Structure 1
Protein backbone atom coordinates (compact mmCIF):
# COMPACT_ATOMS: atom_id res chain seq x y z
CA UNK A 1 0.00 0.00 0.00
CA UNK A 2 1.37 3.44 -0.88
CA UNK A 3 2.78 5.58 1.91
CA UNK A 4 0.54 8.59 1.22
CA UNK A 5 -2.51 6.36 1.65
CA UNK A 6 -1.36 5.43 5.13
CA UNK A 7 -0.76 9.09 6.04
CA UNK A 8 -4.26 10.04 4.81
CA UNK A 9 -5.74 7.21 6.85
CA UNK A 10 -3.73 8.43 9.82
CA UNK A 11 -5.17 11.94 9.57
CA UNK A 12 -8.72 10.62 9.25
CA UNK A 13 -8.21 8.46 12.33
CA UNK A 14 -6.85 11.35 14.37
CA UNK A 15 -10.25 12.89 15.41
CA UNK A 16 -11.51 9.45 16.44
CA UNK A 17 -8.46 8.95 18.61
CA UNK A 18 -8.87 12.44 20.09
CA UNK A 19 -12.55 11.80 20.95
CA UNK A 20 -11.63 8.52 22.52
CA UNK A 21 -9.11 10.33 24.68
CA UNK A 22 -11.88 12.48 26.19
CA UNK A 23 -13.49 9.47 27.84
CA UNK A 24 -12.43 8.53 31.39
CA UNK A 25 -9.58 6.08 30.96
CA UNK A 26 -6.05 5.34 31.98
CA UNK A 27 -3.41 8.09 31.48
CA UNK A 28 -2.30 6.57 28.14
CA UNK A 29 -4.67 5.18 25.50
CA UNK A 30 -3.73 2.99 22.56
CA UNK A 31 -5.70 2.37 19.38
CA UNK A 32 -4.62 0.11 16.52
CA UNK A 33 -6.07 0.37 12.99
CA UNK A 34 -5.23 -2.53 10.66
CA UNK A 35 -5.59 -2.21 6.90
CA UNK A 36 -4.52 -4.93 4.40
CA UNK A 37 -1.94 -6.31 6.75
CA UNK A 38 -0.45 -2.96 7.63
CA UNK A 39 -1.19 -1.17 10.89
CA UNK A 40 -1.55 2.35 12.30
CA UNK A 41 -1.01 2.76 16.05
CA UNK A 42 -2.36 5.83 17.85
CA UNK A 43 -1.06 6.55 21.36
CA UNK A 44 -2.91 9.24 23.32
CA UNK A 45 -0.94 10.52 26.31
CA UNK A 46 -1.12 13.57 28.49
CA UNK A 47 -0.87 16.66 26.29
CA UNK A 48 -0.04 14.93 22.98
CA UNK A 49 -1.05 12.21 20.51
CA UNK A 50 1.57 10.00 18.84
CA UNK A 51 0.78 8.28 15.54
CA UNK A 52 2.92 5.50 14.11
CA UNK A 53 2.41 3.83 10.72
CA UNK A 54 3.81 0.34 10.01
CA UNK A 55 4.06 -1.44 6.65
CA UNK A 56 4.56 -5.11 5.88
CA UNK A 57 7.90 -5.60 4.12
CA UNK A 58 9.98 -8.62 3.11
CA UNK A 59 13.29 -8.84 4.93
CA UNK A 60 15.48 -11.91 4.32
CA UNK A 61 12.48 -13.79 3.00
CA UNK A 62 10.29 -12.98 6.00
CA UNK A 63 7.41 -10.53 6.26
CA UNK A 64 7.96 -7.95 9.01
CA UNK A 65 6.18 -4.78 10.07
CA UNK A 66 8.53 -1.84 9.55
CA UNK A 67 7.80 1.65 10.91
CA UNK A 68 7.57 4.08 8.02
CA UNK A 69 6.04 7.16 9.70
CA UNK A 70 5.76 8.74 13.14
CA UNK A 71 4.06 12.04 14.02
CA UNK A 72 3.13 13.96 17.16
CA UNK A 73 -0.04 16.02 17.50
CA UNK A 74 0.15 18.47 20.41
CA UNK A 75 -2.97 19.67 22.17
CA UNK A 76 -3.55 23.42 21.80
CA UNK A 77 -2.80 25.55 24.82
CA UNK A 78 -4.36 29.02 25.03
CA UNK A 79 -1.29 31.15 25.71
CA UNK A 80 -3.35 34.36 25.70
CA UNK A 81 -5.55 33.34 28.60
CA UNK A 82 -5.07 35.77 31.49
CA UNK A 83 -5.63 35.29 35.19
CA UNK A 84 -5.98 37.68 38.11
CA UNK A 85 -2.24 37.40 38.78
CA UNK A 86 -1.52 38.96 35.40
CA UNK A 87 -3.09 42.21 36.66
CA UNK A 88 -0.73 42.56 39.62
CA UNK A 89 2.67 44.30 39.44
CA UNK A 90 6.00 42.53 39.99
CA UNK A 91 4.54 39.20 38.75
CA UNK A 92 6.90 37.76 36.07
CA UNK A 93 5.14 37.50 32.71
CA UNK A 94 6.19 35.69 29.54
CA UNK A 95 6.61 38.26 26.80
CA UNK A 96 5.80 37.23 23.27
CA UNK A 97 6.93 38.96 20.13
CA UNK A 98 4.30 41.28 18.68
CA UNK A 99 2.03 40.94 21.73
CA UNK A 100 0.15 43.87 23.26
CA UNK A 101 1.68 45.33 26.44
CA UNK A 102 -0.32 47.93 28.42
CA UNK A 103 1.43 51.05 29.74
CA UNK A 104 -0.10 52.26 32.97
CA UNK A 105 2.28 54.32 35.08
CA UNK A 106 4.15 51.73 37.14
CA UNK A 107 6.19 54.26 39.10
CA UNK A 108 6.14 57.98 38.36
CA UNK A 109 7.48 61.27 39.72
CA UNK A 110 7.00 64.80 38.44
CA UNK A 111 6.55 68.50 39.16
CA UNK A 112 3.18 70.00 40.18
CA UNK A 113 1.83 73.44 39.34
CA UNK A 114 -1.36 75.49 39.66
CA UNK A 115 -2.81 77.44 36.76
CA UNK A 116 -5.51 80.13 36.73
CA UNK A 117 -7.24 78.82 33.59
CA UNK A 118 -8.08 75.35 32.32
CA UNK A 119 -5.43 74.01 29.91
CA UNK A 120 -3.18 76.99 30.64
CA UNK A 121 0.41 76.08 31.50
CA UNK A 122 1.45 79.35 33.08
CA UNK A 123 1.99 79.82 36.81
CA UNK A 124 -1.18 80.82 38.65
CA UNK A 125 -1.11 84.42 39.85
CA UNK A 126 -3.30 83.53 42.80
CA UNK A 127 -0.87 80.92 44.13
CA UNK A 128 2.82 81.62 43.64
CA UNK A 129 4.59 78.32 44.19
CA UNK A 130 8.18 77.26 44.59
CA UNK A 131 8.07 75.06 41.50
CA UNK A 132 11.31 73.22 42.27
CA UNK A 133 9.77 71.99 45.54
CA UNK A 134 6.25 71.22 44.25
CA UNK A 135 6.04 67.61 43.15
CA UNK A 136 4.11 64.37 43.14
CA UNK A 137 4.97 60.68 43.10
CA UNK A 138 2.88 57.54 42.80
CA UNK A 139 2.91 53.89 41.87
CA UNK A 140 0.50 51.64 40.04
CA UNK A 141 -0.71 48.54 41.91
CA UNK A 142 -3.30 47.23 39.43
CA UNK A 143 -3.19 47.06 35.64
CA UNK A 144 -5.59 45.32 33.24
CA UNK A 145 -6.32 45.83 29.56
CA UNK A 146 -8.47 44.86 26.58
CA UNK A 147 -6.79 44.53 23.18
CA UNK A 148 -8.78 44.73 19.95
CA UNK A 149 -6.89 42.17 17.82
CA UNK A 150 -4.72 39.11 18.26
CA UNK A 151 -1.64 41.14 17.27
CA UNK A 152 -2.90 44.65 17.93
CA UNK A 153 -1.61 48.17 17.77
CA UNK A 154 -4.56 49.39 19.85
CA UNK A 155 -5.82 48.57 23.32
CA UNK A 156 -7.79 49.96 26.24
CA UNK A 157 -5.96 50.17 29.58
CA UNK A 158 -7.38 50.26 33.10
CA UNK A 159 -5.30 50.84 36.22
CA UNK A 160 -5.27 51.95 39.84
CA UNK A 161 -2.51 53.88 41.58
CA UNK A 162 -1.82 55.63 44.86
CA UNK A 163 0.50 58.52 45.65
CA UNK A 164 1.29 61.88 47.20
CA UNK A 165 1.20 65.45 45.87
CA UNK A 166 2.68 68.52 47.53
CA UNK A 167 2.52 72.22 46.59
CA UNK A 168 5.25 74.44 48.05
CA UNK A 169 3.98 77.99 48.73
CA UNK A 170 6.59 80.64 48.07
CA UNK A 171 7.32 83.61 50.33
CA UNK A 172 6.01 84.69 53.73
CA UNK A 173 2.58 83.11 53.29
CA UNK A 174 0.52 80.13 54.41
CA UNK A 175 -2.82 78.64 53.40
CA UNK A 176 -5.23 79.11 56.30
CA UNK A 177 -8.94 78.63 56.90
CA UNK A 178 -10.53 82.05 57.20
CA UNK A 179 -14.28 82.81 57.26
CA UNK A 180 -15.21 79.43 55.79
CA UNK A 181 -12.67 79.47 52.97
CA UNK A 182 -9.03 78.61 52.29
CA UNK A 183 -7.08 81.86 51.98
CA UNK A 184 -3.42 82.54 51.29
CA UNK A 185 -2.48 84.68 54.29
CA UNK A 186 0.51 87.01 54.36
CA UNK A 187 2.76 86.97 57.41
CA UNK A 188 3.20 90.14 59.52
CA UNK A 189 5.55 91.47 62.17
CA UNK A 190 4.11 89.15 64.81
CA UNK A 191 3.64 85.99 62.73
CA UNK A 192 5.95 84.95 59.96
CA UNK A 193 5.45 81.95 57.67
CA UNK A 194 8.11 80.00 55.78
CA UNK A 195 8.33 76.76 53.79
CA UNK A 196 4.52 76.49 53.72
CA UNK A 197 2.91 73.55 51.94
CA UNK A 198 -0.43 72.17 50.87
CA UNK A 199 -0.35 68.40 50.41
CA UNK A 200 -2.75 65.55 49.84
CA UNK A 201 -2.70 61.81 49.10
CA UNK A 202 -4.68 60.30 46.24
CA UNK A 203 -6.08 57.23 44.58
CA UNK A 204 -6.25 57.45 40.79
CA UNK A 205 -8.00 55.23 38.26
CA UNK A 206 -6.81 55.93 34.68
CA UNK A 207 -8.71 54.71 31.60
CA UNK A 208 -6.58 55.23 28.50
CA UNK A 209 -6.73 54.33 24.82
CA UNK A 210 -3.27 53.25 23.66
CA UNK A 211 -1.51 52.92 20.34
CA UNK A 212 1.79 51.04 20.21
CA UNK A 213 4.26 49.86 17.58
CA UNK A 214 6.75 47.01 17.94
CA UNK A 215 10.26 47.83 16.73
CA UNK A 216 12.90 45.43 15.44
CA UNK A 217 14.56 44.98 18.83
CA UNK A 218 11.24 43.89 20.37
CA UNK A 219 10.80 47.22 22.21
CA UNK A 220 7.67 49.34 21.88
CA UNK A 221 6.99 52.95 21.16
CA UNK A 222 3.61 53.96 22.53
CA UNK A 223 1.18 56.79 23.15
CA UNK A 224 -1.97 56.73 25.25
CA UNK A 225 -4.49 59.25 26.56
CA UNK A 226 -7.77 59.32 28.44
CA UNK A 227 -9.61 60.37 31.59
CA UNK A 228 -8.36 59.65 35.08
CA UNK A 229 -10.60 59.62 38.15
CA UNK A 230 -8.98 60.88 41.34
CA UNK A 231 -9.98 60.54 45.01
CA UNK A 232 -8.10 62.93 47.34
CA UNK A 233 -7.60 62.31 51.04
CA UNK A 234 -5.36 63.36 53.93
CA UNK A 235 -5.39 67.03 52.88
CA UNK A 236 -3.29 69.27 55.18
CA UNK A 237 -1.70 72.72 55.17
CA UNK A 238 1.72 73.09 56.85
CA UNK A 239 3.98 76.00 57.71
CA UNK A 240 7.00 76.92 59.81
CA UNK A 241 5.78 79.76 62.06
CA UNK A 242 8.41 82.31 63.12
CA UNK A 243 11.17 79.93 62.04
CA UNK A 244 10.02 77.13 64.34
CA UNK A 245 9.22 73.53 63.61
CA UNK A 246 6.72 72.54 60.95
CA UNK A 247 3.12 72.81 62.17
CA UNK A 248 -0.23 71.79 60.77
CA UNK A 249 -2.22 74.99 60.26
CA UNK A 250 -5.28 73.46 58.59
CA UNK A 251 -6.92 70.20 57.51
CA UNK A 252 -9.28 69.51 54.63
CA UNK A 253 -8.83 73.05 53.33
CA UNK A 254 -12.08 72.79 51.32
CA UNK A 255 -10.29 70.80 48.62
CA UNK A 256 -12.60 68.86 46.31
CA UNK A 257 -12.46 65.22 47.44
CA UNK A 258 -13.04 63.91 43.90
CA UNK A 259 -11.46 65.09 40.66
CA UNK A 260 -11.24 64.13 36.99
CA UNK A 261 -7.94 64.53 35.16
CA UNK A 262 -6.88 64.32 31.54
CA UNK A 263 -3.85 62.03 31.24
CA UNK A 264 -1.47 61.67 28.28
CA UNK A 265 1.61 59.42 28.19
CA UNK A 266 4.25 58.58 25.61
CA UNK A 267 7.43 56.56 25.72
CA UNK A 268 9.78 53.89 24.48
CA UNK A 269 10.16 50.49 26.10
CA UNK A 270 9.59 50.75 29.86
CA UNK A 271 10.32 54.49 30.14
CA UNK A 272 8.11 57.42 29.27
CA UNK A 273 6.83 60.89 30.08
CA UNK A 274 3.38 62.00 31.20
CA UNK A 275 1.18 65.08 31.48
CA UNK A 276 -1.79 65.22 33.86
CA UNK A 277 -4.27 68.11 33.97
CA UNK A 278 -7.28 68.54 36.26
CA UNK A 279 -10.50 69.37 34.41
CA UNK A 280 -11.77 71.69 37.16
CA UNK A 281 -10.55 73.65 40.18
CA UNK A 282 -8.79 72.18 43.18
CA UNK A 283 -10.98 73.96 45.73
CA UNK A 284 -14.73 73.85 46.17
CA UNK A 285 -16.68 76.73 44.64
CA UNK A 286 -16.32 79.96 46.65
CA UNK A 287 -14.19 78.07 49.19
CA UNK A 288 -10.75 78.88 47.82
CA UNK A 289 -8.68 80.05 44.87
CA UNK A 290 -9.85 79.29 41.34
CA UNK A 291 -6.82 77.26 40.30
CA UNK A 292 -6.44 74.07 38.24
CA UNK A 293 -3.56 71.76 39.24
CA UNK A 294 -1.47 69.95 36.65
CA UNK A 295 1.72 67.92 36.70
CA UNK A 296 4.30 66.48 34.31
CA UNK A 297 7.19 64.11 34.78
CA UNK A 298 8.74 60.75 33.98
CA UNK A 299 7.44 57.21 34.50
CA UNK A 300 8.75 53.66 34.61
CA UNK A 301 6.24 51.07 33.42
CA UNK A 302 6.13 47.46 34.62
Structure 2
Protein backbone atom coordinates (compact mmCIF):
# COMPACT_ATOMS: atom_id res chain seq x y z
CA UNK A 1 0.00 0.00 0.00
CA UNK A 2 2.84 2.39 0.90
CA UNK A 3 4.53 1.55 -2.39
CA UNK A 4 1.34 2.40 -4.30
CA UNK A 5 0.99 5.74 -2.50
CA UNK A 6 4.62 6.59 -3.18
CA UNK A 7 4.25 5.86 -6.88
CA UNK A 8 1.05 7.95 -7.00
CA UNK A 9 2.83 10.88 -5.32
CA UNK A 10 5.73 10.64 -7.77
CA UNK A 11 3.22 10.58 -10.65
CA UNK A 12 1.49 13.71 -9.39
CA UNK A 13 4.82 15.47 -9.00
CA UNK A 14 5.95 14.56 -12.49
CA UNK A 15 2.57 15.51 -13.93
CA UNK A 16 2.79 18.91 -12.23
CA UNK A 17 6.28 19.43 -13.58
CA UNK A 18 5.15 18.47 -17.11
CA UNK A 19 2.22 20.86 -16.80
CA UNK A 20 4.61 23.65 -15.86
CA UNK A 21 6.88 22.74 -18.75
CA UNK A 22 3.93 22.94 -21.13
CA UNK A 23 3.54 26.60 -20.18
CA UNK A 24 7.19 27.51 -20.79
CA UNK A 25 9.59 27.83 -23.67
CA UNK A 26 13.35 28.18 -23.88
CA UNK A 27 14.40 31.50 -25.47
CA UNK A 28 17.93 31.63 -26.88
CA UNK A 29 18.90 35.25 -27.62
CA UNK A 30 21.28 34.87 -30.57
CA UNK A 31 22.60 38.41 -30.11
CA UNK A 32 23.37 38.29 -26.40
CA UNK A 33 24.16 34.55 -26.36
CA UNK A 34 21.78 34.04 -23.44
CA UNK A 35 19.21 31.36 -22.74
CA UNK A 36 16.19 31.94 -20.53
CA UNK A 37 13.02 30.07 -19.75
CA UNK A 38 9.94 32.19 -20.42
CA UNK A 39 6.30 31.55 -19.63
CA UNK A 40 4.19 31.45 -22.78
CA UNK A 41 1.48 33.82 -21.43
CA UNK A 42 4.16 36.45 -20.74
CA UNK A 43 6.33 35.73 -23.78
CA UNK A 44 5.10 38.64 -25.84
CA UNK A 45 5.76 41.22 -23.12
CA UNK A 46 9.13 39.81 -22.04
CA UNK A 47 10.92 39.72 -25.41
CA UNK A 48 12.79 42.65 -26.83
CA UNK A 49 11.98 43.84 -30.33
CA UNK A 50 14.44 43.67 -33.24
CA UNK A 51 16.26 40.66 -31.81
CA UNK A 52 16.97 37.39 -33.56
CA UNK A 53 16.06 34.56 -31.24
CA UNK A 54 15.44 30.85 -31.21
CA UNK A 55 12.45 29.52 -29.32
CA UNK A 56 12.41 25.91 -28.13
CA UNK A 57 9.50 24.27 -26.36
CA UNK A 58 10.60 22.74 -23.06
CA UNK A 59 8.94 19.48 -24.10
CA UNK A 60 11.43 17.37 -26.10
CA UNK A 61 8.89 16.63 -28.85
CA UNK A 62 8.73 20.27 -29.97
CA UNK A 63 11.01 21.24 -32.86
CA UNK A 64 13.15 24.36 -32.71
CA UNK A 65 12.16 27.36 -34.80
CA UNK A 66 14.44 30.32 -35.48
CA UNK A 67 12.57 33.60 -35.31
CA UNK A 68 13.22 37.32 -35.67
CA UNK A 69 11.12 39.48 -33.36
CA UNK A 70 9.88 42.46 -35.36
CA UNK A 71 7.10 43.73 -33.14
CA UNK A 72 6.00 43.35 -29.56
CA UNK A 73 2.54 44.82 -30.06
CA UNK A 74 -0.54 43.25 -28.57
CA UNK A 75 -1.46 41.75 -31.92
CA UNK A 76 1.38 39.25 -31.71
CA UNK A 77 5.00 38.65 -32.57
CA UNK A 78 6.12 38.50 -36.17
CA UNK A 79 8.68 35.76 -36.75
CA UNK A 80 10.66 34.33 -39.64
CA UNK A 81 11.20 30.59 -39.72
CA UNK A 82 11.83 27.88 -42.31
CA UNK A 83 11.98 30.47 -45.07
CA UNK A 84 8.43 31.73 -44.45
CA UNK A 85 7.06 34.70 -42.54
CA UNK A 86 4.82 33.59 -39.70
CA UNK A 87 3.42 35.07 -36.53
CA UNK A 88 3.28 33.51 -33.11
CA UNK A 89 -0.05 34.15 -31.42
CA UNK A 90 -0.50 33.64 -27.68
CA UNK A 91 -3.74 31.72 -27.20
CA UNK A 92 -3.61 30.75 -23.54
CA UNK A 93 -1.56 29.09 -20.85
CA UNK A 94 -0.98 25.86 -22.71
CA UNK A 95 -0.92 26.59 -26.42
CA UNK A 96 0.15 28.97 -29.15
CA UNK A 97 0.17 28.73 -32.92
CA UNK A 98 1.85 30.19 -35.98
CA UNK A 99 0.04 32.27 -38.59
CA UNK A 100 1.52 32.60 -42.06
CA UNK A 101 2.03 36.08 -43.55
CA UNK A 102 0.30 37.95 -40.73
CA UNK A 103 1.65 41.43 -40.09
CA UNK A 104 2.04 42.36 -43.77
CA UNK A 105 -0.52 44.04 -45.97
CA UNK A 106 -2.02 41.80 -48.64
CA UNK A 107 -0.25 42.15 -51.98
CA UNK A 108 -2.21 44.45 -54.26
CA UNK A 109 -0.72 45.49 -57.58
CA UNK A 110 -1.03 48.83 -59.35
CA UNK A 111 -2.86 48.36 -62.64
CA UNK A 112 -6.47 49.52 -62.37
CA UNK A 113 -6.72 53.22 -63.08
CA UNK A 114 -6.13 55.79 -65.80
CA UNK A 115 -2.93 56.55 -67.73
CA UNK A 116 -2.18 59.42 -70.06
CA UNK A 117 0.91 59.83 -72.20
CA UNK A 118 2.39 61.07 -75.46
CA UNK A 119 3.12 58.84 -78.46
CA UNK A 120 5.74 58.88 -81.16
CA UNK A 121 7.39 56.44 -83.59
CA UNK A 122 10.88 54.97 -83.45
CA UNK A 123 12.81 52.41 -85.50
CA UNK A 124 11.02 53.63 -88.61
CA UNK A 125 11.77 52.26 -92.09
CA UNK A 126 10.38 53.78 -95.29
CA UNK A 127 12.84 52.00 -97.62
CA UNK A 128 10.01 50.60 -99.79
CA UNK A 129 8.77 54.10 -100.59
CA UNK A 130 10.05 56.77 -102.95
CA UNK A 131 12.00 59.81 -101.79
CA UNK A 132 8.92 62.03 -101.97
CA UNK A 133 6.97 59.60 -99.77
CA UNK A 134 9.53 59.33 -96.96
CA UNK A 135 8.25 59.93 -93.40
CA UNK A 136 4.67 60.49 -94.57
CA UNK A 137 3.42 59.24 -91.16
CA UNK A 138 5.61 61.58 -89.12
CA UNK A 139 3.71 62.69 -86.03
CA UNK A 140 3.06 65.97 -84.30
CA UNK A 141 4.39 64.63 -81.00
CA UNK A 142 2.91 67.36 -78.81
CA UNK A 143 -0.60 66.52 -80.06
CA UNK A 144 -0.31 62.72 -80.33
CA UNK A 145 -1.41 61.03 -77.15
CA UNK A 146 -2.53 57.74 -75.63
CA UNK A 147 -5.12 57.11 -72.92
CA UNK A 148 -5.32 53.80 -71.07
CA UNK A 149 -8.40 52.77 -69.11
CA UNK A 150 -7.36 49.81 -66.95
CA UNK A 151 -10.53 48.25 -65.59
CA UNK A 152 -9.81 44.73 -64.25
CA UNK A 153 -6.91 43.41 -62.19
CA UNK A 154 -5.83 40.19 -60.49
CA UNK A 155 -2.83 40.30 -58.15
CA UNK A 156 -0.95 37.11 -57.26
CA UNK A 157 1.45 37.24 -54.31
CA UNK A 158 4.74 35.35 -54.76
CA UNK A 159 6.67 35.94 -51.50
CA UNK A 160 5.87 35.70 -47.77
CA UNK A 161 6.34 39.44 -47.19
CA UNK A 162 3.51 40.19 -49.66
CA UNK A 163 5.55 42.79 -51.52
CA UNK A 164 6.39 40.99 -54.76
CA UNK A 165 3.94 39.44 -57.14
CA UNK A 166 2.38 38.92 -60.54
CA UNK A 167 -0.32 41.16 -62.02
CA UNK A 168 -2.71 40.25 -64.83
CA UNK A 169 -5.62 42.39 -65.94
CA UNK A 170 -7.73 43.88 -68.69
CA UNK A 171 -8.02 47.37 -70.13
CA UNK A 172 -8.58 49.62 -73.13
CA UNK A 173 -5.99 51.73 -74.91
CA UNK A 174 -6.97 54.64 -77.15
CA UNK A 175 -4.37 56.32 -79.36
CA UNK A 176 -4.85 59.54 -81.27
CA UNK A 177 -1.96 60.10 -83.67
CA UNK A 178 -1.83 63.58 -85.18
CA UNK A 179 0.13 63.90 -88.46
CA UNK A 180 2.84 66.55 -88.64
CA UNK A 181 1.81 67.44 -92.18
CA UNK A 182 -1.83 68.53 -91.83
CA UNK A 183 -2.43 68.19 -95.56
CA UNK A 184 -1.31 64.57 -95.72
CA UNK A 185 -3.22 61.52 -94.52
CA UNK A 186 -3.09 57.81 -95.41
CA UNK A 187 -5.08 55.53 -97.69
CA UNK A 188 -4.86 52.12 -99.38
CA UNK A 189 -3.82 51.91 -103.04
CA UNK A 190 -4.97 49.36 -105.63
CA UNK A 191 -2.46 46.85 -104.23
CA UNK A 192 -3.91 47.20 -100.74
CA UNK A 193 -0.78 49.00 -99.54
CA UNK A 194 -0.57 51.97 -97.18
CA UNK A 195 0.21 55.13 -99.12
CA UNK A 196 0.21 58.88 -98.39
CA UNK A 197 -2.92 60.76 -99.35
CA UNK A 198 -2.46 64.47 -100.09
CA UNK A 199 -5.34 66.80 -99.30
CA UNK A 200 -6.36 69.86 -101.28
CA UNK A 201 -3.76 72.51 -100.38
CA UNK A 202 -6.48 75.19 -100.40
CA UNK A 203 -8.41 73.53 -97.60
CA UNK A 204 -7.94 74.98 -94.12
CA UNK A 205 -7.18 71.80 -92.20
CA UNK A 206 -7.77 72.02 -88.46
CA UNK A 207 -7.09 68.39 -87.46
CA UNK A 208 -5.71 65.39 -89.31
CA UNK A 209 -5.59 62.28 -87.13
CA UNK A 210 -5.20 58.51 -87.15
CA UNK A 211 -7.00 56.82 -84.26
CA UNK A 212 -6.76 53.29 -82.87
CA UNK A 213 -8.44 51.36 -80.05
CA UNK A 214 -7.02 48.22 -78.42
CA UNK A 215 -8.17 45.72 -75.81
CA UNK A 216 -5.13 45.26 -73.56
CA UNK A 217 -3.99 42.35 -71.36
CA UNK A 218 -0.95 42.95 -69.11
CA UNK A 219 1.36 40.42 -67.47
CA UNK A 220 3.52 42.38 -65.02
CA UNK A 221 5.89 41.67 -62.15
CA UNK A 222 5.79 44.22 -59.33
CA UNK A 223 7.94 44.82 -56.25
CA UNK A 224 6.85 47.13 -53.43
CA UNK A 225 8.88 48.64 -50.60
CA UNK A 226 8.96 49.08 -47.71
CA UNK A 227 6.92 45.92 -47.24
CA UNK A 228 5.06 46.93 -44.07
CA UNK A 229 3.72 50.34 -45.06
CA UNK A 230 0.39 50.79 -46.77
CA UNK A 231 1.70 53.65 -48.94
CA UNK A 232 4.57 52.08 -50.85
CA UNK A 233 7.03 52.86 -53.59
CA UNK A 234 6.66 50.30 -56.34
CA UNK A 235 8.34 49.26 -59.57
CA UNK A 236 6.64 47.04 -62.14
CA UNK A 237 7.66 45.76 -65.55
CA UNK A 238 6.50 43.19 -68.03
CA UNK A 239 4.52 42.79 -71.21
CA UNK A 240 1.16 44.01 -72.42
CA UNK A 241 -0.69 42.38 -75.29
CA UNK A 242 -3.19 44.30 -77.38
CA UNK A 243 -6.03 43.25 -79.67
CA UNK A 244 -7.02 45.91 -82.20
CA UNK A 245 -10.72 46.76 -81.94
CA UNK A 246 -10.97 49.78 -84.23
CA UNK A 247 -8.91 52.13 -86.40
CA UNK A 248 -9.85 55.15 -88.50
CA UNK A 249 -8.63 58.42 -89.99
CA UNK A 250 -10.39 61.70 -89.24
CA UNK A 251 -9.86 65.01 -91.04
CA UNK A 252 -11.53 68.24 -89.89
CA UNK A 253 -11.24 71.11 -92.39
CA UNK A 254 -12.97 74.00 -94.14
CA UNK A 255 -13.44 73.61 -97.90
CA UNK A 256 -13.16 76.29 -100.56
CA UNK A 257 -16.69 77.51 -99.73
CA UNK A 258 -15.75 77.98 -96.08
CA UNK A 259 -17.97 75.11 -94.90
CA UNK A 260 -16.68 72.94 -92.04
CA UNK A 261 -16.26 69.28 -93.03
CA UNK A 262 -15.35 66.05 -91.28
CA UNK A 263 -14.03 63.14 -93.30
CA UNK A 264 -13.86 59.81 -91.47
CA UNK A 265 -12.59 56.53 -92.87
CA UNK A 266 -12.75 53.36 -90.78
CA UNK A 267 -10.57 50.50 -91.99
CA UNK A 268 -7.99 48.01 -90.75
CA UNK A 269 -5.33 49.83 -92.84
CA UNK A 270 -3.32 46.59 -93.00
CA UNK A 271 -2.57 46.85 -89.29
CA UNK A 272 -1.66 43.59 -87.62
CA UNK A 273 -4.58 42.45 -85.42
CA UNK A 274 -2.47 42.08 -82.26
CA UNK A 275 0.50 43.87 -80.75
CA UNK A 276 2.99 43.24 -77.95
CA UNK A 277 4.37 46.03 -75.75
CA UNK A 278 7.10 46.01 -73.14
CA UNK A 279 5.98 48.25 -70.28
CA UNK A 280 7.47 49.62 -67.07
CA UNK A 281 6.34 51.97 -64.34
CA UNK A 282 7.59 53.44 -61.08
CA UNK A 283 5.26 55.05 -58.59
CA UNK A 284 4.32 55.95 -55.06
CA UNK A 285 0.91 55.12 -53.63
CA UNK A 286 -1.62 56.09 -56.35
CA UNK A 287 0.68 58.04 -58.71
CA UNK A 288 3.17 56.67 -61.22
CA UNK A 289 5.32 57.44 -64.23
CA UNK A 290 5.11 54.84 -66.99
CA UNK A 291 6.52 54.04 -70.40
CA UNK A 292 5.93 51.48 -73.14
CA UNK A 293 7.50 50.35 -76.38
CA UNK A 294 5.72 48.29 -79.05
CA UNK A 295 7.83 45.32 -80.09
CA UNK A 296 5.67 44.46 -83.09
CA UNK A 297 5.37 46.49 -86.27
CA UNK A 298 2.20 48.51 -86.67
CA UNK A 299 1.47 47.21 -90.20
CA UNK A 300 1.66 43.86 -91.93
CA UNK A 301 4.88 43.01 -93.72
CA UNK A 302 5.27 44.75 -97.11
CA UNK A 303 1.92 46.50 -96.61
CA UNK A 304 3.16 49.63 -94.89
CA UNK A 305 6.23 51.31 -93.37
CA UNK A 306 8.09 49.87 -90.40
CA UNK A 307 6.82 51.76 -87.34
CA UNK A 308 7.17 51.03 -83.63
CA UNK A 309 5.22 53.35 -81.30
CA UNK A 310 6.57 54.30 -77.89
CA UNK A 311 4.79 56.18 -75.11
CA UNK A 312 5.71 58.04 -71.94
CA UNK A 313 3.27 59.46 -69.42
CA UNK A 314 1.77 59.62 -65.94
CA UNK A 315 -0.92 57.51 -64.32
CA UNK A 316 -3.33 57.31 -61.41
CA UNK A 317 -4.32 53.96 -59.87
CA UNK A 318 -7.53 53.24 -57.99
Shorter-chain TM band: 0.5 to 0.7
Aligned match of 1:108? 115
Indicate which of 273, 278, 288 corresponds to 1:257. Answer: 273
SS of alignment partner, residue 116 of structure 1: strand
Residue 232 of structure 2 is matched in structure 1 by 220
What residue is the counterpart of 1:90 in the other structure? none
Q: How far apart in 1 are the matches of 2:136 and 2:95?
A: 69
- Whether the 8 Å contact between 2:115 and 2:316 is mirrored in structure 1 is yes
Q: Distance in 2 between matches of 1:74 and 1:173?
A: 79
Structure 2: gaps (5+ residues): 1-11, 24-90, 126-133
Contact conserved, 2:286 with 2:316, CA < 8 A, in 1?
yes
- The 2-side partners of 1:141 and 1:6 are apart by 62
* 1:78-93 equivalence runs, <5 A: none
Gaps of 5+ in 1: 13-69, 81-94, 119-123
Q: What is the match of residue 141 of structure 1?
A: 151
Decide whether aligned partners of structure 1 residues 223 and 262 sit closer, same or farther in structure 2, where only a CA change above 3 A counts.
Answer: same
Deviation at 1:216, TM superposition (A): 7.5
CA distance in 1, matches of 2:120, 2:143: 10
Tell me the matched-pair count: 225
| Conserved? CA contact 1:117–1:291, under 8 Å | yes
Aligned to 1:184: 196
Residue 291 of structure 1 aligns to a residue whose secondary structure is: strand
Q: Does 1:174 align with 2:190?
A: no
Matched-pair contact (CA < 8 Å) for 2:281–2:289: yes
Q: 1:220 to 1:189 in 2, by over 3 A?
A: closer
Misfit runs of 4+, over 3 Å: 4-9, 70-76, 95-99, 188-194, 215-218
- C-alpha RMSD of the superposition: 3.5
Displacement of 1:152 after TM fit?
3.7
1:200 correspondence with 2:212: yes
Name the SS for the 2:108 alignment partner. Answer: coil
Could you tell me how far apart the structure 2 residues matched to 1:74 and 1:143 are?
40
Displacement of 1:150:
1.9
Q: Secondary structure at the match of 2:272?
A: coil
The answer to whether the 8 Å contact 1:226/1:263 transfers is: yes
Deviation for aligned residue 1:222: 1.2
**More moved, 287-296 vs 260-269:** 287-296
SS at match of 1:150: coil
3-state SS of 1:284 partner = coil
Measured against aligned partners, the alpha-carbon deviations of 1:35-79 in whole angstroms (never above 9, x if no partner) come to: xxxxxxxxxxxxxxxxxxxxxxxxxxxxxxxxxxx9599999x99
